[in-house]
Amino acid sequence: MIAISRRQILISGLFLWLFAVVGTTLVALTEFGTSDAIAENERRVLLRNLYALLPRDRLDNDIATDTLELPPSTLLGTGQTSTAYRARLQGEPVAVIFNSVAPDGYNGRIHLLVGVYVDGSLAGVRVVRHAETPGLGDGIEIRKSSWITGFDGKSLTNPDASGWRVKRDGGEFDQLTGATITPRAVVAAVRNTLLYYRHNTDMIF
Residues in the chain: 205
85-109 average pLDDT score: 96
Tens of pLDDT, residues 8-56: 777 777 777 777 777 676 666 666 656 666 667 767 777 888 999 998 8
Query: What does the DSSP 8-state code read for residue 56?
Result: G
What does the alpha-carbon distance between residue 185 and residue 182 come to, in Å, rounded to a whole number?
5
What does the alpha-carbon distance between residue 52 and residue 39 come to, in Å, rounded to a whole number?
20
| 132 within 8 A of 140, measured Cβ to Cβ | yes
Tens of pLDDT, residues 149-204: 999 999 999 999 999 999 999 999 998 988 899 999 999 999 999 999 999 999 99
Residue ranges per domain, the chain? 1-53, 58-204
Q: Which residues pair with 97 in a beta bridge?
A: 85, 115
Residue 124 gets the label, from left (phi > 0), alpha (psi -120 to 50) or beta, of left
User: Strand runs (DSSP E) across 25-159, as ranges?
Assistant: 67-70, 82-89, 92-105, 108-117, 122-129
Query: What does the DSSP 8-state code read for residue 132?
Result: P
Closest of 143, 89, 140, 142 to residue 117, by C-alpha = 89
Closest of 53, 58, 84 to residue 152, by C-alpha = 53
Report CA 8 to chain centroid distance, whole Å.
Answer: 54
